[in-house]
């Protein structure tokens, strides 16, 4: 498992009974997590002094219960600063487990010895985009949500990357890739973090089981002759590491390199165990 264990401003303190207890900077949140199917005693003190808790509804969705939490606050990871705020469906605007991937590809970018162009699809609030830009890459950040792209720009400013070579695009990711192919644009590295289900800005429906492999194949057409890396993240049950490995290996079979895939996770500070948080597949050139 690839573990994001370099955080200082974030930690999973404990997890039990379908919830995880997290510290985001100075604030303690309890949020649902479908992976937490065990029922262990909630002895960590943080459970009794929460700043907010998200309650999932049996009818779908849910709502926050606030005790003492600001509307917005920030945390840091290395040189990057991320603005956080609680919003619908339990999220805060950041997936901390992705830091293990940020570290991996940042080192590859720094050691490439040449200019690197990165395409980040389903780019959300920009964690991967900012990590790549901070490492020296020029980045094209694509997300179908105008609000998420605006949030990513705010994170860039907070991180001192307001003038970094990042191209901000609000668009359906598949249609954007198709247009880039027609335009003849190429990228040295591609990152994608597709949702299980979603809609594009014009109502386009995305179902990951049907759409992910065709998109990986399309993106392979966007790679330069000497690609640096290709990264696919998944939080969807059923898209396990071996599935990601198979899809990436098949789609990128013409490029010399290695493919690895594994679960990603976060350390649990109260017991030394690891909370699984999805899976990633990585191609890296020889």
Q: Which CATH superfamily is domain 2-71 in?
A: Golgi alpha-mannosidase II (2.60.40.1180)
CA separation for the pair 246, 249 (Å, rounded)? 5
197 dihedral zone (left: phi>0; alpha: psi -120 to 50; beta): beta
- Within a 13 Å sphere around the CA of 225, how many CA atoms are in the beta-carbon half? 0
pLDDT at 14 > cutoff 90: yes
Q: Using the CB atoms, write b or e for 28-45: b if 16+ within 10 Å.
A: bbbbbbeebeeeeebebe
Give the mean model confidence (pLDDT) for residues 59-73. 93
What are the tens digits of pLDDT across the range 144-189?
999 999 999 999 999 999 999 999 999 999 999 999 999 999 999 9
Among 12-21, 86-95, 162-171, the least confident range:
86-95
CA separation for the pair 261, 2 (Å, rounded)? 9
Q: What pairing do the DSSP bridges indicate for beta strands 138-143 and 166-170?
A: parallel
pLDDT value of residue 198:
74
3-state SS string for 87-145: CCCCCCCCCHHHHHHHHHHHHHHHHCCCCCEEEEECCCCCHHHHHHHHCCCEEEEEECC
pTM: predicted TM-score of the whole model, two decimal places = 0.94
Domain residue limits, the chain: 2-71, 96-285
CA separation for the pair 211, 195 (Å, rounded)? 11
Q: Tell me which residue of 20, 48, 52, 12 sits closest to 36, measured CA to CA.
A: 20
Identify the bridge partners of residue 44 per DSSP, sorted by sequence position: none
Measure CA 16 to chain center.
24
User: Angle between the 146-158 and 127-134 helix axes, to the nearest 10 degrees?
Assistant: 40
What CATH architecture does domain 96-285 belong to?
A: 3-Layer(aba) Sandwich (3.40)
pLDDT value of residue 261:
98
CA separation for the pair 173, 192 (Å, rounded)? 9
- Identical fold for domains 2-71 and 96-285, yes or no, is no
Residue owning tokens 């920009």: 126
Q: What pairing do the DSSP bridges indicate for beta strands 257-267 and 2-3?
A: parallel
């Amino acid at each position: 498992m690839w573990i994001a264990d370099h955080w200082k401003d974030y930690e999973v303190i404990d997890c039990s009974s379908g919830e995880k207890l997290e510290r985001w900077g100075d604030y303690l949140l309890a949020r649902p997590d479908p992976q937490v199917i065990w029922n262990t005693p909630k002895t960590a003190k943080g459970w009794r002094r929460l700043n907010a808790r998200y309650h999932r509804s049996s009818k779908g969705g849910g709502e926050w219960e606030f005790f003492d939490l600001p509307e917005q606050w920030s945390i840091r990871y290395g040189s990057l600063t991320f603005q956080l705020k609680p919003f619908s469906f339990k999220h805060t605007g950041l997936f901390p487990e992705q830091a293990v991937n940020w570290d991996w590809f940042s080192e590859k970018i720094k050691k490439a010895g040449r200019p690197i162009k990165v395409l980040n699809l389903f780019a959300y609030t920009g964690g991967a985009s900012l990590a790549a830009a901070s490492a020296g890459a020029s980045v094209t950040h694509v997300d179908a949500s105008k609000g998420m792209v605006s949030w990513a720009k705010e994170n860039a400013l907070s991180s001192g990357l307001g003038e970094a070579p990042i191209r901000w695009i609000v668009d359906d990711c598949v249609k954007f890739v198709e247009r880039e192919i027609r335009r003849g644009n190429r990228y040295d590295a591609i990152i994608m973090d597709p949702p299980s289900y979603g809609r594009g800005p014009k109502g386009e429906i995305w179902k990951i089981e049907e759409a992910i492999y065709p998109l990986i194949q399309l993106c392979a057409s966007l790679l330069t002759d000497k690609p640096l890396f290709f990264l696919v993240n998944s939080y969807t049950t059923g898209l396990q590491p071996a599935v990601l490995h198979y899809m990436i290996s098949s789609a990128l079979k013409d490029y010399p390199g290695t493919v690895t895939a594994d679960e990603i996770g976060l350390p649990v500070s109260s017991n030394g165990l690891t909370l699984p948080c999805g899976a990633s597949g990585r191609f890296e050139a020889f």
